[in-house]
């Protein structure tokens, strides 16, 4: 079962078992990770599911699409090199993913 570790801006970590094929955003919303707002529900229209991915995990992810890249310019906390929108990250079998959530999404 894939696992996501969400670390908030204050440093507290929540570990959640995810379903293979679900997005990181869906995993967060269904498990009460409030640092992921995900207003639009995954249609790449709101940029409120922003996460910073642990450097060591970056190579395991599918590359970013053009629209995700554009929407990352609309995040509340400025993007960094390891920024992703968690609605675009699909959990794969056995994946162990570490992300940090920004101080605010809005």
Partner 1 sequence: MSSNNVAAGVCPMGHGAAAPADHHGYEPFTMENPFPSYTNLRNEQPVMFDERVGLYVVTRYDDVKAVFEDWETFSSENAQAPVRKRGPQATKIMNDGGFTTYSGLSARRPPEHTRIRAIAQKAFTPRRFKALEPSIRANVIDSIEVMSARESGTGDIVKDLAYAIPTITILTLIGADTSQVDTYKRWSDSRAAMTWGDLSDEEQIPHAHNLVEYWAECLRLVAHAHEHGGDNLTADLVKAQSEGAEITDHEIASLLYSLLFAGHETTTTLISNCVRVLLSHREAWEQVVHNPKAISAAIDEVLRYSGSIVGWRRKALKDTEVAGVKIPEGAELLLLMGAANRDENRFQDPEAFDIARPNAREHLSFGFGIHYCLGNMLAKLQAKIALEELTSRIPSLELIDGEGIEFRKNLSFRVPEYVNVSWKEAQA
Residues that bind partner 1 (CB under 8 A): 37, 39-48, 66-67, 70-71, 73-74, 106
Q: Least distance to partner 1 from the beta carbon of 13, Å?
A: 22
The residue ranges of DSSP E strands in 21-82, in sequence order, are: 50-53
Yes or no: say if 24 and 18 are a contact pair by the CB < 8 Å rule. Answer: yes
* Pure H helices in the chain: 24-30, 66-71
Q: Least distance to partner 1 from the beta carbon of 7, Å?
A: 21
Nearer CB in complex with partner 1: 46/89: 46
Q: Least distance to partner 1 from the beta carbon of 74, Å?
A: 3
End-to-end alpha carbon distance in the chain:
31
Nearer CB in complex with partner 1: 83/95: 83
Residue 89 exposure: Cα atoms within 13 Å on the Cβ side: 28
Nearer CB in complex with partner 1: 22/57: 22
Nearer CB in complex with partner 1: 57/69: 69
User: Residue 13, by phi and psi: left (phi above 0), alpha (psi -120 to 50) or beta?
Assistant: beta
Q: Least distance to partner 1 from the beta carbon of 46, Å?
A: 6
């Amino acid at each position: 079962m894939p696992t996501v570790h969400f670390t908030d801006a204050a440093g507290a970590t929540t570990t959640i078992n995810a379903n293979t094929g679900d997005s990181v955003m869906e995993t967060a919303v269904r498990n009460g990770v409030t640092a992921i707002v995900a207003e639009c529900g995954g249609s790449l229209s709101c940029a409120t599911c922003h996460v910073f991915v642990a450097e060591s995990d970056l190579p395991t992810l599918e590359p970013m699409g053009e629209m995700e890249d554009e929407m990352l310019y609309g995040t509340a906390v400025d993007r960094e090199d390891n920024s992703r929108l968690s609605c675009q990250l699909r959990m794969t079998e056995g994946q162990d993913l570490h992300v940090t959530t920004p101080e605010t999404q809005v």
